[in-house]
Chains A and B, each alone.
Chain A
């Protein structure tokens, strides 16, 4: 299986700068700076079909193209490494094994976008990744691959590693921008979108770690090659899947986009734990809808997963077996979201708290039939919140009601959790 992001990985340690270079590292940067214009780099990324790996799946090259070309003043690139979505740990594994693909990717993106100064906004708890990145940045700078006049060309670029103060909402790109400016991380209203007016008022692109780490390989091997990596015809590239829950071997693994969900669980992860039977899974992190056994053959790519009522998200698969209560699981997630809501808008601040209380009631056995309608209303009305946080928070509840309504109703009619004695 072709490895793109994990190509340089060593089993027990991080790849060194010398090893990365010896294996073709920074060749893409050399190629871009010497033989390609920034527009050509961007076009290659557009042609490659690369979509954002942070969760929303927005086409990366298209996002770059929104930055107005002729505006005076600085423009910014921010790598979003504030990986706090429950179940998601792919960026950590990537950075602990190899910080250089990201550094090279950020530099390439900066070249394409005309950015002089890029930031990597990293989750504070990722101490090993932070140390790795800082050492990598220093090594690259020393080798003339960052800083003034990179490789003797006109292009200069620096990367600043910024450690987040640590809140889930910082993963929302406009809240992240506020946080980076030293402000409270409330999301900003859109429009204006960051590509037009972002960090310190300048055009800003925010990309996920995995997204940017893909760019060197795309530039080195071409758009067609990248597209060809996928298992399904409309897909492009590979994807890091990080699996947790009731599987024998919970791993973070790189597989072609479009690999069926069943294959990931059964082959890569060795199937369900002994004696356990698959009941449900969350396919892409806490803010995606539960899928049931009926959906196991879905190709893990953005559009096919949407078609079955969920999202590929970050590729964080959480597997539940027949012994798990999904009301409790949903409640657990909603508790997380209710706590992490920034408190800015009414539906999210007050609504999530209320959803949490209804689910608690149902789980305790005190639920009523009308609670189902209330919950359903909320999955709709919370989508009218200020940012994508509340709609995301409603996704597991949405999936619960769509695929496991009977289990919820059973709680209500039996006045207790059927899975607890």
Chain B
């Protein structure tokens, strides 16, 4: 620790602190424009100049100068104030001062400091800039005339997003924040640059001219897309969510968001929202009142009783899922309840259950930056959970984490410094991971006394590096080297994304990777273990609350089948969209067509809702209260920001009403149900809603560690066929992001990505319309040609309703297809 004096106040801080940090720690405010706590110090704006007695006469920047013992600092002298005023005057000289039409007004550091320093005239005068404004993309507007050259956009894009869309270009007064060759912006459109821009040089186009910043009601919430659990602040006016407001103090991610979090909130106030219950009469939907609709639904459910099938999305809150379970498993006595097609959660509900004795993974998000070696299963971890991808970037670039990736294709994270990607043949993940375990055991790298080691050794005897090399296409030496590196690391963390797009990331794969962590003694240690990344915002909650068959009931896809063969008499679907996201679209559609009675509660009249007999209008995360449990077991609260659309009700109300109508208990409110959860779900024990606060609470976990040998599935192959693998596109999450402006502007169509070699052989070029055909069906998609795919592999994201890829897939990890124009 270092002792110093700032404005006559004694301060003690860590020795790597800067003067700015030290001042902040005792509440002394030093003005800044270019400094950001998440980024490396910059020192360019010269607003934070202070005087240090020991450096008599020279003003030095507080944000870049480290503290030294006995330093005597003054933060406000006449000379300092004059210097700061001069900086402001110089910045204002070229600045257009178009505050009345600038969206940043009210939230502008330059405006606020100009006010604070009373810069009411300028001793200088000069011509203004005349830079062309970049309107080329629909999300980020770049007006470099307003730029004050703080460089934060370039730094956040480089340091945290690891994209590098911006840099300084030109010299002297002509210097500006530019893009490659000064062209239009072409990037991931995460909008991180907008969030840190201290002025209005970078603004959100969807929010442009929507509201003054000070007129927004700011409501804290949690993003409802992926499982990362990013905290959000919704900017609300006139009962509409108009933007997300950046708050650098929110969440583990310090307010960082991805495209979905920042630009995909528009589904909340979409004109296409369902606003009234609908009942299908004579093949046509007719608007109905809630009483009529709920009466019909409760009658049908009550009649079907134990042969009810119930599917939900993991977008629902914990409290809603609790009621879902109470209604269907409790009141109606059916075990045919599930979510995520029954396979996309199996890594948790079966895999983790077998390996750790609990339906959660033992590690937390914070472990990503604390580890020494990250083993990521599939580069798609970046696409499925982009903000966890930022954590990977930071871990590798700031903390020196070694990144190793086992994947069927390369991806953005493959390009991080020192990253090594072992590209294996599609569908051979388990064989690969088993080979790693085989090497760890064979080389005596397993920790002493692991129970079940001998059985595992025997079971994996066939997974020698040489044999597995032949199966996976990865050289035996590479497998051995990776196994040794993994075992040798002091701390090692495995990341395994799961979801509807990844049928191969199942219970078996989860157990196979858990074996690695258990063999090397990584369970229950900081910075180590396994992080299973649930796809949806409340995937972990759905697992915790038992939304899966527990007593031999039908699983997700089987429930749909059951609706066709009469085993399921009534089908209730809450927010799930099986027609687009479950395997084999034709089969799902046929089943729903044949089903006796289908109820769908959703925000929109989805492709699945079209098949329903009754459609119930539900509400979004912004229209209700409750909790979500994210990857790494953090329980966080969402807060109602706007009134429900039309007559729409939350699933909480819908399920509560139905439960009461069917003689179940009626719960009072969200807090009461949360209390029930805390009382009945062991991990949630002792939690209270009010106790969660802004930070949320990380659920405790006491994982057991049990080795389970799993066999690698056979991988289909046929001459002349390509291997289709599905997954997430960077800009999308599930099927809900189709109702967000941002994702649809950037990535509006389904596509299939081909390797350059295959594209060349098939004479296909980027943007061509191609047909992808399998035994199950065929679909017409737009071609994308990428360097990242090995020959013989096709990748397609699953989010899109038109030309949905589940038209050709049937739930296998790999689908053999032919591709042609």
Residues of chain A at the chain B interface (Cβ within 8 Å):
167, 184, 186, 189, 191, 338-347, 349-354, 357, 374, 377, 381, 383-386
Q: Which residues of B contact A189 (CB under 8 A)?
A: 41-43, 64
Q: Which residue of chain A has the shortest Cβ distance to B66 in the bound complex?
A: A191
Q: Which residues of B contact A386 (CB under 8 A)?
A: 43-44, 46, 61
A338-B173, A344-B149, A352-B172 given; 19 more Cβ-contact pairs under 8 Å: A184-B168, A339-B172, A341-B171, A342-B171, A343-B174, A343-B176, A344-B151, A344-B168, A346-B44, A347-B46, A347-B87, A351-B86, A351-B90, A357-B126, A381-B82, A381-B83, A383-B58, A384-B49, A384-B58
A343→B83 contact, CB < 8 A: no
A41 to B151 Cα, complex, angstroms:
43
A186 to B60 Cα, complex, angstroms:
18
Can you spell out 30 A-B residue pairs with CB atoms less than 8 angstroms apart? Answer: A339-B172, A340-B171, A340-B172, A341-B172, A341-B175, A342-B175, A343-B149, A343-B171, A343-B173, A344-B44, A344-B149, A345-B43, A345-B44, A345-B45, A346-B87, A350-B173, A351-B90, A352-B172, A352-B173, A353-B172, A353-B173, A354-B90, A354-B93, A354-B126, A381-B86, A384-B46, A384-B58, A384-B59, A386-B43, A386-B46
Known contacts A186-B168, A343-B168: A350-B91 contact under CB 8 Å: yes
A354 to B124 Cα, complex, angstroms:
8
A187 to B82 Cα, complex, angstroms:
25
Q: Taking the complex as formed, is B120 at the interface, i.e. its CB lies under 8 A from any CB of chain A?
A: no
Q: Which residues of A contact B444 (CB under 8 A)?
A: none
A385→B168 contact, CB < 8 A: no
Known contacts A350-B93, A354-B90: A343-B172 contact under CB 8 Å: yes
Within 8 A of A (CB), among B40-57: 41-46, 49
Q: Which residues of A contact B58 (CB under 8 A)?
A: 383-384
Task: Encode contact with A along B169-210: 1 for CB under 8 Å, 0 otherwise.
Answer: 011111110000000000000000000000000000000000
A343 to B171 Cα, complex, angstroms:
6
A381 to B87 Cα, complex, angstroms:
9
Known contacts A343-B172, A384-B49: A349-B167 contact under CB 8 Å: no
B149→A346 contact, CB < 8 A: yes
Q: Taking the complex as formed, is B123 at the interface, i.e. its CB lies under 8 A from any CB of chain A?
A: yes
* B805 → A minimal CB distance (Å): 41
A340 to B170 Cα, complex, angstroms:
10
Q: Taking the complex as formed, is B94 at the interface, i.e. its CB lies under 8 A from any CB of chain A?
A: yes
A374 to B126 Cα, complex, angstroms:
15
Q: Which residue of chain A has the shortest Cβ distance to B40 in the bound complex?
A: A189
A281 to B176 Cα, complex, angstroms:
36
Known contacts A184-B167, A354-B126: A343-B59 contact under CB 8 Å: no
Closest 6 CB pairs of A and B: A343-B175, A350-B90, A353-B173, A341-B172, A345-B44, A189-B64
A381 to B42 Cα, complex, angstroms:
19
Q: Which residues of A contact B43 (CB under 8 A)?
A: 189, 345, 386
A355 to B171 Cα, complex, angstroms:
16
Q: Which residues of A contact B91 (CB under 8 A)?
A: 346, 350
A184 to B176 Cα, complex, angstroms:
13
Q: Which residues of B contact A186 (CB under 8 A)?
A: 168
A349→B126 contact, CB < 8 A: no
Known contacts A345-B46, A381-B86: A167-B171 contact under CB 8 Å: yes
Q: Which residues of A contact B170 (CB under 8 A)?
A: 343
A342 to B149 Cα, complex, angstroms:
11
Q: Which residue of chain B has the shortest Cβ distance to A344 in the bound complex?
A: B44
* A361 → B minimal CB distance (Å): 11
Task: Encode contact with A along B56-92: 1 for CB under 8 Å, 0 otherwise.
Answer: 0011110010100000000000000011001100110
Q: Which residue of chain A has the shortest Cβ distance to B154 in the bound complex?
A: A184
* B711 → A minimal CB distance (Å): 46
Q: Which residues of A contact B173 (CB under 8 A)?
A: 338, 341, 343, 349-350, 352-353
* A332 → B minimal CB distance (Å): 15
Q: Which residues of A contact B174 (CB under 8 A)?
A: 343
Q: Which residue of chain B has the shortest Cβ distance to A357 in the bound complex?
A: B126
Q: Which residue of chain A has the shortest Cβ distance to B91 in the bound complex?
A: A346
Q: Which residue of chain B has the shortest Cβ distance to A341 in the bound complex?
A: B172
Q: Which residue of chain B has the shortest Cβ distance to A384 in the bound complex?
A: B59
* A232 → B minimal CB distance (Å): 28
Within 8 A of A (CB), among B567-601: none
Q: Which residues of A contact B151 (CB under 8 A)?
A: 344
B94→A346 contact, CB < 8 A: no
A381 to B64 Cα, complex, angstroms:
18
A341 to B90 Cα, complex, angstroms:
15
A189 to B19 Cα, complex, angstroms:
14
A339→B171 contact, CB < 8 A: yes
Residue among A186, A349, A352 with max Cβ neighbours from chain B (10 Å) = A349
Q: Which residues of A contact B167 (CB under 8 A)?
A: 184
Within 8 A of A (CB), among B141-156: 148-149, 151
A350 to B129 Cα, complex, angstroms:
12
Q: Which residue of chain B has the shortest Cβ distance to A373 in the bound complex?
A: B123
